[in-house]
């Protein structure tokens, strides 16, 4: 009997974080035919100068749109970035826009497209929420609430702080750091 109780408690402890992550993913914001699903940012340490935001852009409309800019009060600058693999090296590059196809979706996720936060004004701590304004070429502007959380299940892991043993460069800097 005691083993059954312990097993049940263990299963609950294992399942609850997954349910919590799924609940975070369920948050959606809409602008016309566009939906911004599950916006989240990775927690940072006290000394971090950069951060990253991820979400999924869904377009239920008949016409394509583009995310052309982002802004937030938590950083000196917010930029659209993409991670690409060239000759065995991962390279982070700023992009002018992120396309959202008609009737489709574009995921901003670790190791791919994301919003890069530069010159953070304070630490991003788990549970904190902050506004992010997104500007689309056709649909206009919308403000979403970003929740700081550890990566949801299946989001993938990627160190963006330069401590991942090299292999990452940003905007042409090959030193593994996040310099601009």
- The CA–CA distances, whole Å, from 180 to 108, 133, 175 equal 22, 23, 11
Counting other chains too, the contacts that 17-22 makes at CB distance below 8 Å and 24 or more residues apart are: 18/153, 21/149, 21/152, 21/153, 22/152, 22/153
Residue partners of 12: CB distance under 8 A and separation at least 6: none
d(CA 84, CA 178): 16
* pLDDT score recorded for residue 153: 58
- The CA–CA distances, whole Å, from 9 to 28, 41, 69, 95, 157 equal 32, 30, 46, 47, 28
As a whole number, the mean pLDDT across the chain is 80
Listed by start position, the domains of the chain span: 28-170
Query: Contact, 142 vs 154, CB < 8 A?
Result: no
* pLDDT score recorded for residue 44: 96
Distance in Å from the first CA to the final CA of the chain? 60
How is residue 94 written in tokens?
A: 């700023």
pLDDT digits (tens, 9 = 90+) for 121-174: 999 999 999 999 999 999 999 999 999 998 765 555 444 443 333 334 444 333
Q: To which CATH superfamily is domain 28-170 assigned?
A: PCu(A)C copper chaperone (2.60.40.1890)
Instruction: Among 14-18, 27-31, 94-98, name the one with the lowest average pLDDT.
Output: 14-18
**Burial classification of residue 19, based on how many CB atoms lie within 10 Å of its CB (0-12 exposed, 13-18 middle, 19 or more buried):** exposed
d(CA 165, CA 175): 10
Q: Which residue has the higher pLDDT, 17 or 133?
A: 133
What confidence category does residue 85 fall into, taking pLDDT thresholds of 50, 70 and 90? confident
* pLDDT score recorded for residue 26: 75
Neighbouring C-beta atoms of residue 39, cutoff 10 Å: 24
Model confidence pTM above 0.95: no
């Amino acid at each position: 009997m005691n083993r059954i109780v312990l097993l049940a408690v263990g299963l609950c402890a294992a399942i609850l974080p997954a349910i919590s992550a799924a609940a975070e993913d369920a948050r959606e914001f809409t602008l016309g035919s566009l939906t911004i699903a599950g916006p989240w940012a990775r927690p940072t340490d006290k000394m971090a100068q950069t951060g990253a935001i991820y979400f999924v852009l869904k377009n239920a409309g008949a016409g394509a749109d583009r995310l052309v800019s982002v802004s937030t009060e938590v950083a000196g600058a917010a930029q659209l970035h993409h991670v690409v693999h060239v000759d065995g090296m991962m390279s982070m590059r700023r992009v002018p826009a992120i396309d959202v196809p008609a009737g489709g979706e574009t995921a901003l996720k670790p190791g791919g497209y994301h919003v890069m936060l530069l010159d953070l004004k304070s630490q991003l701590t788990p549970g904190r929420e902050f506004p992010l304004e997104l500007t689309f070429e056709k649909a206009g502007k919308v403000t979403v609430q970003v929740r700081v959380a550890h990566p949801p299940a299946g989001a993938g892991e990627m160190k963006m702080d330069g401590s991942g043993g090299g292999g990452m460069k940003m905007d042409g800097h090959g030193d593994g750091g996040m310099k601009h």
